[in-house]
Amino acid sequence: MEGLERTESLCPKCLTRVPAEITSDGSKVYMEKTCPVHGPFKALLWSDLTLYRRALRFSTNGRPAKPRIKETIKGCPYDCGLCLEHRQHTCLAIVEVTDSCNLMCPVCLADSRSELTWMPSADEVEDMLRELLWFEGGPTALQLSGGEPTIREDLPEIVTIARDLGFKLIEVDTNGIELAKKPELAKELADAGLRGVYLQFDGFTPDVHLTLRGVDLTKIKEKALENCTKAGLGVTLAMTVVKGVNDGQLWDLVRYAVSKRAVGVNFQPFAALGRYPKPLFDPLDRTTISDVQLQLQIQSGGVLRALDFIPVPCPDPRCSALVYACYSAGELKVINRLVEAELLVDKYGLKDDFIDFDELLKAVADEVGASREFARDLGCCSNCRPDPPVMGSSLRLLLEHLKPEGFFCIGCHFAQDLWTVDLKRLKKCCVHEVRGKGVLVPFCLYNMTSEDGEKLYRGRVL
């Protein structure tokens, strides 16, 4: 095995901080570590070494936020809040408005149950958001989550509070049950200022739903999507990808989302967080972010390619990747394939935040607008540069070339669990859980769960 990098991790049994090494057999990438009490552990990180090394080329230094914790006692990751060691500000804030849920899914990273132990009042949520604004210096992208947030009757009021505080990119994470039953709820949320819905959508066959959710939700998901679309809400379909369960339905989900005019899909390789049936998890035989990319390439027949994914540079680039696309007559066109992604991210300064779709589109337009080959594709003479005074803006030219009916984003987020947690990655996390008094905890860290069910942060009063 070749050693690629040394880092620190945690023991999956006792949560003790231990040295770790990222290694490769020349094909795949692993994490290896040894706890002095519980012995050695090895887990698959990436199934493709080439894609792993490509992702690392997008690494950046980050833009730290104001630290809330000025002095640590135990050190990372035990004193989180954020502390002085954290290297990236909040790009996406997740506010859990309840920990109760109307499902008891066999797979649940939050380990949510019907019993209620956490439901902040609307005023308390407002205080949390005001603290976030102070630390961040302005509004972030915001997800209202749970548990199941739509079981709160005052959810539209909470959305209004967030909107009035200046938050513009507001989403609700949901299983869709209430939105399927109550079309008026989607309209109320849209009127309150909600921009989108992050809809759990794991596949198209009953066996997938029964394995992951305990009940067949196929029709409910379709109805929820329909009601949200009618209300003018953008919908992102989110699939928890489990090897051997639904990893053969990735391209089917993309095609379905395009046909329903959803704004995108997000694939989340299953991580050993919260609650899950133990037989579903094998640390050496699991779906990774590179599996999703390669499977989409295979299942789509090359319509999507693994190299179409841009590693997101504001967190650690091994955490997330995106494809920016549009569609016309049901055909998907990859926008970022028109340019060299690494050059684009660097040249146009798209590093410190999750890359905004509009910013990406303008950057692509500016880059291809200066290309004579691109001008020829548009029917211009070979000596003509499409300068804005003559040809109109580069963005207009790009849109004329693509002829989009709608825009679409394909994402993949590989959450860390105690088998794969890398403290270097945690310190660069930009997706943060917001708790009382302005406490911010990296998303993966907040949901870390030992083999025996012990949690580092979830359930604690912070």
Tell me: the pLDDT tens digits for 223-249?
A: 999 999 999 999 999 999 999 999 999
Average of per-residue pLDDT across 110-117: 92
Q: Is the confidence at residue 69, as pLDDT, over 80? A: yes
Average of per-residue pLDDT across 302-328: 93
Average of per-residue pLDDT across 204-220: 97
Going 250 to 251 to 253 to 257, the CA torsion angle's sign is: positive
Q: Is the confidence at residue 127, as pLDDT, over 60? A: yes
- Rounded-to-integer distance, Cα 201 and Cα 173, Å: 11
DSSP letter for each residue of 102-164: S---SSBTT--BSS------HHHHHHHHHHHHHHHSS--EEEEESS-GGG-TTHHHHHHHHHH
Q: Is the confidence at residue 152, as pLDDT, over 60? A: yes
431 φ, ψ (degrees, to nearest 5)? -110, 110
Peptide bond into 349 cis (omega under 30): no
- Rounded-to-integer distance, Cα 65 and Cα 81, Å: 11
pLDDT at 385: 32
Q: Is the confidence at residue 41, as pLDDT, over 50? A: yes
pLDDT at 31: 98
Q: What is the 3-state secondary structure (H, E, C) of 199-212?
A: EECCCCCHHHHHHH
Q: Is the confidence at residue 381, as pLDDT, over 70? A: no
For the ranges 67-76, 100-109, 129-138, the lowest mean pLDDT is seen at 67-76
- Rounded-to-integer distance, Cα 143 and Cα 110, Å: 15
Rounded to the nearest integer, the mean pLDDT of the chain is 90
Q: Is the confidence at residue 36, as pLDDT, over 50? A: yes
Average of per-residue pLDDT across 307-326: 93
pLDDT at 354: 64
- The share of the chain scoring above pLDDT 90, in percent, equals 76
DSSP-derived pairing of the beta strands 431-434 and 440-442 = antiparallel
Q: Is the confidence at residue 56, as pLDDT, over 80? A: yes
pLDDT at 139: 95
Q: Tell me: the pLDDT tens digits for 342-361?
A: 777 777 766 666 666 777 77
Average of per-residue pLDDT across 108-135: 94
pLDDT at 393: 59
pLDDT at 388: 33
Average of per-residue pLDDT across 415-440: 94
Q: Is the confidence at residue 376, as pLDDT, over 50? A: no
At 102, list the tokens.
């109307």
Average of per-residue pLDDT across 178-183: 97
For the ranges 91-105, 149-163, 325-339, 443-457, the lowest mean pLDDT is seen at 325-339
CATH C-level class of 69-312+421-446: alpha beta
| Model confidence, pTM | 0.92
Is the backbone of residue 456 left (phi > 0), alpha (psi -120 to 50) or beta? alpha
Average of per-residue pLDDT across 178-205: 97
- Rounded-to-integer distance, Cα 412 and Cα 238, Å: 9
Q: Is the confidence at residue 61, as pLDDT, over 90? A: no
The domain segmentation of the chain, as residue ranges, is: 2-55, 69-312+421-446, 341-402
> For the chain, how long is the longest CA-to-CA vector?
72
Instruction: Place 383 in a pLDDT band, splitting at 50, 70 and 90.
Output: very low
Q: Is the confidence at residue 451, as pLDDT, over 60? A: yes
- Rounded-to-integer distance, Cα 177 and Cα 217, Å: 8
Instruction: Place 113 in a pLDDT band, splitting at 50, 70 and 90.
Output: very high
Q: Is the confidence at residue 373, as pLDDT, over 70? A: no
pLDDT at 317: 94
> Which is more confidently placed, 327 or 70?
327
- The share of the chain scoring above pLDDT 70, in percent, equals 92
